[in-house]
Amino acid sequence: MNNSKLPKVKPMLAVPADPFDSNDYLYEIKWDGYRGLVYLSEQTTILSRNLINLTERFPELQNLHKKVIQKPAILDGEIVVLEEGKPSFSKLQSRGKITDALKVNQLSRRFPVSFIAFDVLYKDGESIMNLPLESRKKVLEDIIEPGTHLIVSQYVHGSGIKFYEAVQKVGLEGMMAKRLDSLYMPGKRSPVWKKVRNTHSAEWVIAGWEKGEGHRHLGSLILVGFNQGKWIYMGKVGTGFGKDDENKLLRLMEPLEIDESVFTPPRGEFRSPVWVKPTLICEVTFTEISPEGRLRHPSYKGLRYDKNPQECTIDQ
């Protein structure tokens, strides 16, 4: 990265929340894409949430520095593929995995991305992270010339519940709620920023589990659904269960252990899995099912005893 005057900064993170109203907060769309920090001076450099350089993967974003004044600057935002005004995460994923230059250029024409900026951390080479969010938002609007590949995230004040209902209605991922006076805290997950996801809920059958790391004995549950006489892999869930849930699940799964999985495991998907008979049913919330048939952002809610496993169909 040649933007040598600018330090590497990890993005500020939000905590989960339910919809609410407050005059102390602004509300904006939670864009479904890749979080990105854009470093702008005489060139454009894009770093991921984990500080991986993504610049070469998105050639259509490499001239963003020409659309921003008061450089050197750092913008925080989301890289998205927009389809009829809504993000397509599956099309973005098809681009994010490619590193071959020829394929990257082909996909940049087929599925072009935009950078949706929602914060500014540096301008004129100086940090403005200690300014309140409301002031940073005004700076953001002043220094950007919006266009096809650079969009400024719009927001509303106060009416969080109505805004969330509107977001839900059009099928977007969710909304962000941020205190107007919040300072930017790099790498911190803070309650002054909240994420409210538009979630679905369904019941899936536990077909195995993976071991956890450190103090966690249970890393994730392996989930399946039923379709035309077969078990279909739906994904893994590794959040939502506490220590009591973990102990209960491990106790219930131990007598159900079997040597082989009841479905065809995707290659390279699992690390030392323990397979079990498809008997236990759990409720899981998630944002959507991807085109590949996988649950996105799943979270464990609890066991269900009021269904037969074969009732947990993939189209429930």
Give the pair of three-digit tokens for residue 236. 């893994």
- Ramachandran region of residue 251, left (φ > 0), alpha (ψ -120 to 50) or beta? alpha
Q: Which residues pair with 302 in a beta bridge?
A: 283
**Do residues 62 and 40 make contact, with C-beta atoms less than 8 angstroms apart?**
no
Q: What are the phi and psi torsion angles at 56 (to 5°)?
A: -70, -20
- Residue found by looking up tokens 């080479």 in the block: 125
Token couple for 302: 């609890």
Report which secondary-structure segment, H or E, holds 138.
Answer: helix 133-143
Residue 30 is among the residues annotated as catalytic for this protein: yes
Closest by Cα among 294, 312, 316, 295 to 303: 312
Residue written as tokens 């050197």? 72
Q: How far apart are CA 175 and CA 165, in angstroms?
A: 10
Q: Is 104 helix (H, G, I), strand (E, B) or coil?
A: helix
- What's the first-to-final CA gap in the chain, in angstroms? 48
Alpha helices in the chain (DSSP H): 89-96, 101-110, 133-143, 160-169, 243-253
Catalytic residue among 10, 30, 162, 230: 30
Residue with tokens 């330090």: 7
- How would you class 58 by CB atoms within 10 Å of its CB: exposed for 0-12, middle for 13-18, buried for 19 or more? buried
Cα(267)–Cα(32) distance, integer angstroms: 27
Q: What are the residue numbers of the active site?
A: 30
